[in-house]
């Protein structure tokens, strides 16, 4: 294993932890806490965090995916289409890649735009409206759990 391969793996894992962990934190702690605060506090806090959160998480997500591609191809076993589509590992790797790209797209085109609506709902105390929008985060969580499962399977060569 080369030093560069170790660095790529390390950064890929760190990025994945940050990306997935931030989403877990947002869904399980940040959003419920904001929904328990008075509207005059919750609205501005959420509005201030929406744009920065989207930029940081989309950047980290994109870098994590790119490093995963490098780790799987340049430094890994996915060297041909026959390996990619003809082995269990290759298929699992492709599923993880598609899930990662899907989550990144979902985050950019669905979750981030809904953040402005959520901020407006919080500002007027519409907690029910905020709760109705949480399904978007749950879809993202299902994707992350799928990727996490793929990572475990690939560790064992599947």
| CA nearest to 75, candidates 10, 147, 154, 1 | 1
Residue 61 Cα to chain centre, angstroms: 6
SS3 category, 37? coil
| CA nearest to 93, candidates 104, 77, 107 | 77
Q: Are 147 and 103 in contact (CB under 8 A)?
A: yes
Rounded to a whole number of angstroms, the CA Rg of the chain reads 18
Q: How confident is the model at residue 6 (pLDDT cuts 50, 70, 90)?
A: very high
Q: How confident is the model at residue 104 (pLDDT cuts 50, 70, 90)?
A: very high
Proportion of the chain above pLDDT 70, given as a percent: 100
pTM: 0.90
| CA nearest to 58, candidates 27, 90, 82, 23 | 23
pLDDT in tens, 50-97: 888 989 999 999 999 999 999 999 999 999 999 999 999 999 999 999
Q: How confident is the model at residue 42 (pLDDT cuts 50, 70, 90)?
A: confident
Is pLDDT of 1 > 80? no
Q: Any idea where the domains of the chain sit in the sequence?
A: 8-155
Share the mean pLDDT of the chain: 92
């Amino acid at each position: 294993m080369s030093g560069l391969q170790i660095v790529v793996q390390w950064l890929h894992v760190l990025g994945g932890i940050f990306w997935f962990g931030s989403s877990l934190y947002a869904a399980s702690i940040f959003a419920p806490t904001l929904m328990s605060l008075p509207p005059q506090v919750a609205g501005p806090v959420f509005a201030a965090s929406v744009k920065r959160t989207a930029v940081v998480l989309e950047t980290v997500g994109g870098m994590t995916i790119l490093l995963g591609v490098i780790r799987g191809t340049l430094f890994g076993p996915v060297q041909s289409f026959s390996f990619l589509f003809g082995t269990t590992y290759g298929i699992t790797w492709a599923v993880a890649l598609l899930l990662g790209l899907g989550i990144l797209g979902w985050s950019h085109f669905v979750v981030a735009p809904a953040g402005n609506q959520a901020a407006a709902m919080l500002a007027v105390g519409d907690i029910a409206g905020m709760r109705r929008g949480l399904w978007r985060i749950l879809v993202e969580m299902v994707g992350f759990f799928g990727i996490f499962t793929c990572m475990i399977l690939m560790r064992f060569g599947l």
